[in-house]
C-alpha cells in the first residue's frame, strides 16, 4: 500500500501534478460487496450498470452474479449465470441491453439482460485478455500471448485482424467520448487507436505507461470536473494517472 501511495503521489504525467483536482481519491471503502460462493475476481470482472442501478460481478468460480447497487444484496430479479470459464472482462451496451463477456477459457458470450438470453458467440484458441464494445454490434478483443487485435461483429462471424508487431496484449479499454481504443501491452506501453472509421483502426501513438517489461494490467478513463484522466495499473505495483493523452 505504501508503494502504491508513493506511485500515486509521484506519477509520471505530461501535466503538472497540481492539475489533479483535490480530493481525487476516495479515502476509504464505503461498503464491501459480499459475493456469493467462493472465488476471486480478475482485473475487469466487475462493473456498475447505471441503466439498472446494478453491480455485475463475475467470480473465478465461473459465475455471473447481479447485485442491487443501493443495497448491495443479490438481485431478486436476476439469476446467477453459469459459464464455461471465468470472466476476464465484460462490457454492457445499453442500446441493445446486452453484455459481452470474455473468458479465460477462450469463450466469448453475449447476454441480453431484458430477455434473460445467454448465447455463446465465439470459441477462441486462447484466453480472452479483454473485450469492449466499439459500437452496438462491433466489439474488440485480444487473446493471451497472441500479438493480434481482433474486431468482431455480433451480427455475423466475420473477424477483422490487426497485427501488434512485437507487443503482447494485456488489457483493453474504450473511450466512447473520444472514439479511442486503449490497448495495454506486456512491455508497459499503451497503444492508442482511433475508432471513428470502423472496422478499420488507425494507431495514433503509444505511451510508455509503465517501465519496460511490466504488464499494463488495467486501463480506465476517469472523468472529473469535465476533464478525462487515464489511469493505468501495472504489475510493478503502481498506478499511473495522466491527463492530456
DSSP string covering 88-113, please?
A: EEEEEETTTTEEEEEETTSEEEEEET
How much is the pTM? 0.82
Q: How many CB atoms lie within 10 A of CB 214?
A: 19
Mean pLDDT over the full length of the chain: 84
For position 142, what pLDDT does the model report?
95
Which of 233, 221, 228 has the alpha carbon at shortest distance from 243? 228
Q: What's the rounded mean pLDDT across residues 212-218?
A: 91
For position 27, what pLDDT does the model report?
52
Asked whether 53 and 68 are in contact (CB, 8 A), the reply is yes
Asked whether 37 and 61 are in contact (CB, 8 A), the reply is yes
**Partners of residue 140 on adjacent β-strands:** 132, 151
Asked whether 138 and 150 are in contact (CB, 8 A), the reply is no
Q: What's the rounded mean pLDDT across residues 188-192?
A: 93
In 3-state terms, what secondary structure has residue 5? helix
Which of 76, 50, 52, 81 has the alpha carbon at shortest distance from 65? 81
Asked whether 101 and 58 are in contact (CB, 8 A), the reply is yes
For position 26, what pLDDT does the model report?
52
Which of 222, 228, 215 has the alpha carbon at shortest distance from 183? 215
For position 4, what pLDDT does the model report?
36
For position 29, what pLDDT does the model report?
56
| Omega before 38 within 30 of 0, i.e. cis | no
Amino acid at each position: 500500500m505504501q508503494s502504491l501511495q508513493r506511485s500515486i503521489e509521484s506519477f509520471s504525467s505530461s501535466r503538472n501534478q497540481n492539475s489533479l483536482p483535490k480530493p481525487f481519491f476516495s479515502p476509504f471503502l464505503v461498503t464491501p460487496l459480499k459475493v456469493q460462493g467462493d472465488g476471486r475476481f480478475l482485473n475487469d470482472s466487475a462493473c456498475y450498470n447505471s441503466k439498472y442501478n446494478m453491480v455485475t460481478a463475475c467470480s473465478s468460480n465461473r459465475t455471473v452474479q447481479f447485485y442491487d447497487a443501493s443495497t448491495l444484496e443479490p438481485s431478486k430479479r436476476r439469476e446467477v449465470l453459469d459459464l464455461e470459464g471465468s470472466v476476464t472482462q465484460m462490457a454492457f451496451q445499453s442500446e441493445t441491453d446486452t453484455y459481452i463477456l470474455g473468458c479465460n477459457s477462450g469463450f466469448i458470450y453475449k447476454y441480453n439482460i431484458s430477455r434473460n438470453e445467454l448465447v455463446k458467440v465465439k470459441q477462441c484458441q486462447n484466453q480472452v485478455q479483454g473485450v469492449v464494445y466499439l459500437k452496438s454490434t462491433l466489439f474488440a478483443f485480444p487473446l493471451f500471448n497472441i500479438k493480434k487485435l481482433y474486431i468482431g461483429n455480433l451480427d455475423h462471424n466475420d473477424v477483422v485482424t490487426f497485427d501488434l508487431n512485437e507487443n503482447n496484449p494485456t488489457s483493453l479499454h474504450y473511450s466512447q467520448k473520444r472514439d479511442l481504443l486503449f490497448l495495454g501491452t506486456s512491455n508497459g506501453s499503451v497503444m492508442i487507436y482511433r475508432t471513428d472509421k470502423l472496422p478499420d483502426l488507425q494507431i495514433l501513438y503509444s505511451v510508455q505507461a509503465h517501465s519496460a517489461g511490466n504488464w499494463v494490467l488495467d486501463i480506465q478513463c476517469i472523468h472529473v470536473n469535465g476533464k478525462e484522466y487515464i489511469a493505468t495499473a501495472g504489475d510493478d505495483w503502481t498506478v499511473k494517472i495522466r491527463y492530456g493523452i
